[in-house]
Chains A and B, each alone.
Chain A
Amino acid sequence: MSDTSHELPFWKKYIFSVDHKVIGIQYTITALLFLAFGFFLMLVMRYQLAYPNQPLPGVFASVLGEPVIGEVVVNEATGEKGKVLTGDGYNAFGAMHGTIMVFLAIVPLAVGGFGNFVLPLQCGAPDMAFPRLNMASYWMYLPGGILMLFGFFVKGGAANSGWTSYPPLSTIATTGQTIWLLGMVVLITSSLLGSVNFIVTVVQLRVKGLSFFRLPFFVWAQLVTAFLLLLAFPPLEAAGILQLMDRVADTSFFDPGGLIISGVERNTAGGGSPLLWQHLFWFLAHPEVYVLILPGLGIIAEVIANNTRKPLWGYKSLVYSAIFLGFMSFIVWAHHMFMTGMGTTLSTFFQATTMIISVPSVIILTCLIISLWGAKIRFTTPMLFALSFLPMFAIGGLTGLPLGLTAADIHLHDTYYVIGHFHYVVAPGTIFAMFAGVYYWFPKASGRRMNEWLGRIHWFFSFIFINAIFMPFFFMGMAGVLRRQFDQTETLHGAAVQGLSVMATWAAIGLAVAQLPFVINFFWSMFAGERVGQNPWNATTLEWSAPSPPPHGNFDTVPVVARGPYEYSVPGEKDDFSMQATA
């Protein structure tokens, strides 16, 4: 019985597919849509921040309604009114922007999208270890995401207590918070199923000859990421259940008792601790940020090796650093809680571990930069994104240093400096890596190339604008401007740097426009892009030994591996690349 005699119906082939490639594409497209939506929320917020209390442009005002939108009088004489974002609306957009970006966009794209599509191919496997489980994890992610968004339509609007959902604020918040918690439970389950799949696939399904130290760094990055997701998410699931209980069953896990909300005493048993939530939340959320960056580092490594036409420098250091980073990420979490009143013993421990964890990050970045030495650099679109990633990630990583030192954190905690720090790592960091990955693997997934010129325009303007958004944030943070402020001009020091806020807003609008070439390129190329063969980039790793796109089962003949993943420019060879698959 051959494969082709079993033609699957449309719904089994494209909707409820168990093929990792289809699932990977499903994840990618869904995640990109969520990314766009999260970006939209932020654009509205940015407008409000630049022009506080001034009417929103018509395009926004027509789409949004209560309770996020309120009214303001525009013209005293005529009594004409305009729509503005309300304080609650701003907080809801802010909380949902963070939640959507982290849990619905970046991780599903980096892990669910790229991980699913590329990982089995790079291992020489026909599919993931558990294809049906893989399908289940996507079909929990999508409903979970939709459930999260549903919060916008309930009374009181979406969750508005930050993506961090600190109680007691989140305990007394409106219904949207309950929906957020339920959505999180679904999403965490989806993530769990996925991480089991990744680990088993990497360990058990590598083809003959593909030892651990012959794996592409991308696979190592995904493997460490999968362990982080597997072990770090459950405490947040537990915390989510506890907060749900506090909200709907009147328990007091996070309620110390005697709270007076708007003059009314909340009659609960008490005895709980708001800090308990913070510990449980950050126990996940710190490893989560490494989940956000590791797959990106993996993609960058692949693109750099391919476009420098030489092996990566310090492969073993990269691998050991990634593993050490994963391990350390579990013991730094309380550096998010330095200002809660913790004593010197606890804070010293976490400061020390935070300093230590910067070492593997520095090693990884240094290895990638040194990989450029002696190279023959091709400035393809993926490489443009990969190269610009390096200094951006450096800025993001370095600005973590003053935040990790408690004394400096006194001034910088909860300011825009923090926002600048993590956005540099995730936005010109991870998102640029994601773009690099899309441009790099699009030909493999579709059999067609994306347009290089549109790609370069996309890169150039994105790079300019993304820096113009986030660089001012460091200055605003130094000036003392706090996070999550609906209107920073309410404080004197905030008003003084309002100009930087206006600049960031216009840069954000520019960034939005700069994505148009990408969107056009992506969809147009799918149907009319230049057709390519198996290995358009002259790359070495196993996925390039399969057809473009690979059929169900991936490889015509199962590859056998006898070399490392980056055998480029091997002296004495005819081509400047030697593919990993020898058979």
Chain B
Amino acid sequence: MELLLAQAADFKPYGNWMPPDLSVHGEKIDQLINITHYFMGVLFVAWGIFFAYCVVRFRAKSGGSAQYHPVKGKASKYAEVGIAIFEAVLLLGFSMPVWGEYKNNPPAKSDRIEVRAIGEQFQWNFHYPGKDGIFGRTSAKFIDAVSNTIGLDPNDENGKDDIQTIGELHLPVDKWIYVRITSKDVIHSFAIPTMRVKQDAIPGMEVPVWFKIKPAATTENLIKSMREDFATAKSDWYRLRHHVATKSYQDKSGQTILAEGEGIGFSRDLGEKKLVQLRKAGIETISMRPANPLEVICAQLCGNSHFKMKAQLFTYDDAGYEAWKKSTIPEVIEDF
């Protein structure tokens, strides 16, 4: 089925409805959600109209009495059967095929980029197999909290070219991505809202998900096309901490308070100071965009910093992906 590929210009940043959909299979999921909601709306309005009519028409008035004998009519039976049929259609015609595709037909090994995602309290670790395409063995005894969070075995030849990252997932667009998901400690959940991907990360199990990112959805394109997210200088610095300015702002003497691409700052100190400076310079609104538009989050309660457990997702076109691969130096694990 020919799928329409969204233009980068279609990327609207997050708002009061579904996040932008940047994956190939996401459209069908969105379609199912939309159809289901139309169905729900129809039912609710139908019930609501009948209900409102009754409440108004059959108010107690002096004189007259209620109707003892039940109102006859097949309408409710037909409605009931109709509802059941529609639900069957939703189930068999939409949900099952989409779910089946999501779960049953992994792309061929030669046709996919593999990466392992290992959740732990409170970060995502990623493990790439490197040039040889084979993951090195891992074991708990080699784990180091800084340099070797996944416990890559230094004695395994296959692991010598493996790449590890903490909190950063780098993926190419327009290629099948196959993520093997597991956890070191408690149940986490690997979720990328913009890719309509969600899978529990369960210790002791490795569960795969696969998806393909739309070709136009490189991080570079997204940043370029991102519509500005206006914030006022009275805004809570806390809400702006993951955003950067889309243009530069100067004070009355021409000094730059906030440069393009600069953020408000992660600490309350700096953040509030900057906002105060802007207000002093008479700047009431500033235009900002998310610093990095794509995130991998954790969708299963995993402890007190569950809400902070996220990784940055960077997407590249072919050239960009190659460049990234070259720039990574596989973690050198030295035997001292």
Contact = CB atoms under 8 A, between A and B. Distances in A.
B305 A405 contact: no
A515 interface: no
A497 B185 contact: no
B68 A482 contact: no
A517 to B, nearest CB: 23
B54 A375 contact: yes
A311 B299 contact: no
Interface stretch (B166-174, B197-205, B257-265, B316-324): B197-205
A391 B47 contact: yes
A20 B84 CA distance: 42
A399 B40 contact: yes
B110 interface: no
B166 to A, nearest CB: 14
Contact of A53 (B28, B90, B100, B238): B238
A415 to B, nearest CB: 8
A9 interface: no
Contacts of A483: 301
Interface stretch (A27-35, A259-267, A447-455): A259-267
Contacts of A399: 40
A62 B319 CA distance: 58
A86 B295 contact: no
A62 B152 CA distance: 49
B272 interface: yes
Contacts of B229: 496
A401 interface: yes
A362 B297 CA distance: 36
B72 to A, nearest CB: 10
B326 interface: no
Interface stretch (A201-209, A238-246, A521-529, A564-572): A564-572
Interface string B292-308: 01010101111111111
A560 interface: no
Contacts of B47: 365-366, 369, 390-391, 394
A257 B87 contact: no
A251 B39 CA distance: 48
Nearest to B309: A490
Given A166-B300, A376-B65, A408-B95, A489 B15 contact: no
A393 B240 CA distance: 38
Contact of B185 (A160, A168, A308): A168
Contact of A262 (B102, B121, B269): B121
Interface string A360-383: 001101100110111111110000
A353 to B, nearest CB: 11
Interface string A405-440: 111101111110000000000000000000000000
Given A168-B186, A401-B40, A475-B16, A273 B204 contact: yes
A489 B95 CA distance: 32
Interface string A487-525: 111111101111010000000000000000000000000
A97 interface: no
A387 B308 contact: no
Interface stretch (B56-64, B129-137, B156-164, B212-220): B56-64
A568 B64 CA distance: 13
B178 to A, nearest CB: 14
B100 A568 contact: no
A52 interface: yes
Given A398-B44, A482-B299, A407 B58 contact: no
Contact of A405 (B32, B67, B242): B32
Contacts of B197: 410
A377 B51 contact: no
Interface stretch (A104-112, A175-183, A335-343): A335-343
B98 interface: yes
B143 interface: yes
A159 to B, nearest CB: 12
Interface string B7-42: 000000111111100000000111011001101100
A569 B18 contact: no
B242 A76 contact: no
A479 interface: yes
A484 B301 contact: yes
Interface in B53-82: 54-55, 58-61, 64-68, 70-71, 76, 79-80
Most B CB contacts (10 A, CB to CB) among A52, A390, A496 go to A496
A414 B238 contact: no
Chain B interface category by residue count: 35 or more
Interface in B107-132: 120-121
A486 B71 contact: no
A492 B17 CA distance: 13
A487 B305 CA distance: 10
Interface stretch (A121-129, A134-142, A344-352, A538-546): A344-352
Interface string B218-244: 000000000001000000001101100
Contacts of A482: 191, 297, 299, 307
A89 to B, nearest CB: 9
Contacts of A533: none
Nearest to B81: A359
B50 interface: yes
A260 B58 contact: no
B66 A492 contact: no
Nearest to A52: B238
B32 A407 contact: yes
B325 interface: no
A374 B238 contact: no
B333 interface: no
Contact of A362 (B80, B241, B272): B80
A88 B122 CA distance: 14
A311 B68 contact: yes
Given A274-B187, A408-B33, A376 B60 contact: yes
Nearest to B50: A369
B83 A394 contact: no
Contact of A490 (B191, B207, B308): B308
A274 B119 CA distance: 15
B307 A495 contact: no
B203 A274 contact: yes
A366 B76 contact: yes
A568 B69 CA distance: 10
Contacts of A484: 301, 306-307
A73 interface: yes
B300 A497 contact: no
A309 interface: yes
B328 interface: no
A497 B84 CA distance: 35
Contacts of B327: none
Contacts of A172: 185-186
A372 B47 CA distance: 12
A373 B58 contact: yes
Contacts of A534: none
A416 to B, nearest CB: 12
B169 to A, nearest CB: 15
A143 interface: no
A402 interface: yes
Nearest to B301: A484
A484 B187 CA distance: 14
24 contacts: A54-B238, A160-B304, A260-B143, A260-B185, A274-B202, A274-B204, A339-B189, A355-B87, A362-B83, A374-B71, A375-B58, A387-B55, A402-B36, A405-B36, A408-B32, A479-B16, A482-B297, A485-B306, A487-B307, A491-B310, A493-B193, A493-B295, A568-B68, A570-B68
Interface of B: 13-19, 28-30, 32-33, 36-37, 39-40, 43-44, 47-48, 50-51, 54-55, 58-61, 64-68, 70-71, 76, 79-80, 83-84, 87-88, 90-91, 94-96, 98-100, 102-104, 120-121, 140, 143, 145, 184-187, 189, 191, 193, 196-200, 202-205, 207, 229, 238-239, 241-242, 268-269, 272, 290, 293, 295, 297, 299-308, 310
Given A169-B303, A482-B307, 11 more contacts: A162-B301, A261-B121, A263-B143, A369-B50, A370-B71, A387-B55, A399-B40, A401-B90, A402-B33, A475-B16, A482-B297
